[in-house]
Amino acid sequence: MKLESPPFPPAEATQVSFGLPKVLSGGGSLSFEELQQEVGSNREELRGNLAKQGALLFRDCGIRGVADFHSLMDALKIPRGSADLFFGEVMRETTSFNTMQPTLMPPDFMIGPHNETAFWYRQPEFIAFYCEDTKCAYGQTPIVDGVKVARDLPEELTHKLQSCELLNEYVFDSMKKNKDLVKNQKRNCWQRVFQTESRERVEELINERDDVEITWRKNGSLHVEVTTSVFATHPTTGEVCFRALRYFDFNNVKYMLENYAKSQMPYRKYLSSSSVVGMVSWLASKKWVEHQRYAWKTSIKNGPQLTQAEEDVVTETLFRHATIFKWHPGDVLLIDNIRTAHGRLNVDGERTLHLILSVYIDHRDIYRK
């Protein structure tokens, strides 16, 4: 295969978990047409690498523009899902056919590692990012190998987590009331989530499942509750994968801020971010604040509650198996969304990222006991 697999230069990665991602480079001499041929000829091997290593990073491969991004996914036979189908807090704008914006967050905020849409009852099997351009020194992306995390957790904590069910809940507004949540992105609404304006149709869809419950509110909004698990079974390799869920978000974000972002942001911005994270975490812990009105909330539904010390062990194990790397213009990162979680550190400049979600799979197919 003409594609090389160079290691990350020390200056390009804050830390590296061996083999994550598998880097594929054309060395700057490969045209995009040659890349397509290479990928097509070695598709089975590359898809095997994706399942076993968790992510592929195409760098210096002549990828220029969203059309090339789409063509690369086609060469790998990654089936694209609809950009209109997204179950998070915001309505992402499309940047091309079946290509969307990433979630827009204030630049000094961290996004904790997460498996995309793990809180919902369906989730994309793969997620891919294309960096069209970046002028950032930072804004690194952590990616975490959930198989390594599952193997490395202490046995007693693993048994405790296996006995837990997780409750994921969120309140979707009606389309008539979905105000801006962040700059240029409106709150998501139940009409878009379920692709219908009929309450009866929503109820029909939910009645087919025993892991989802809904409650209509007087103002037209919809409270959704989805039951999931901490571990999943990889549909290709059969390996047990730890799922980076919202339950651990505050702990993970605090860890990222202290251990990675603090050294790469002005001290006043660090103080501001630290204060905001602390305040939001405190408010979310109070029962008189309805966390699920503002963001997906995950809590332990059945099973023993975790102590703070146990949550700290989960966070430390998570980041022990993380690669945290800097983007280059033209990079494409393809992630196995069952095995590998992704996040974001603080962004210090302008950049343009495009996102493709693959078709969705039913989470009952991966949460087998």
Average pLDDT for the chain: 91
What percent of the chain has pLDDT above 70? 97
Strands 332-336 and 297-302: unpaired
Look at residue 143 in the predicted model and tell me its pLDDT. 97
Question: What is the arithmetic mean of pLDDT over 12-40?
Answer: 89
Q: What angle do CA 148, 41, 66 make, to 5 degrees?
A: 75
For residue 12, pLDDT over 90 is answered with no
Res. 139: pLDDT tops 50: yes
Burial class (CB in 10 A: 0-12, 13-18, 19+), 168: buried
Lowest mean pLDDT segment, chosen from 13-17, 81-85, 294-298, 302-306: 81-85
Structural domain that includes position 343: 17-146+324-357
Residue 86: inside a domain, yes or no? yes
Is residue 244 a contact partner of residue 318, using CB atoms and an 8 Å limit? yes
- Tens of pLDDT, residue by residue over 307-359, are 999 999 999 999 999 999 999 999 999 999 999 999 999 999 999 999 999 99
Q: What would the pLDDT profile of 193-211 be if each residue is shown by its tens digit?
A: 999 999 999 999 999 899 9
Q: Partners of 280 in the beta sheet?
A: none
Question: How many domains does the chain contain in total?
Answer: 1
Q: Is residue 243 in some structural domain?
A: no
Q: What pLDDT is recorded for position 369? A: 47
In a domain, 79, yes or no: yes
Q: How far apart are CA 122 and CA 87, in angstroms?
A: 9
Asked if residue 5 belongs to a domain, the reply is no
Query: Is 279 within a domain?
Result: no
Domain contains 202: no
Q: Smallest Cα–Cα separation from 297: which of 162, 176, 119?
A: 119
Q: What mean pLDDT comes out for the span 173-196?
A: 80
Q: Looking at residue 21, which CATH number applies to its domain?
A: 3.60.130.10
The answer for residues whose C-beta is within 8 angstroms of residue 114's C-beta and 6 or more apart is: 244, 245, 246, 249, 341, 342, 343
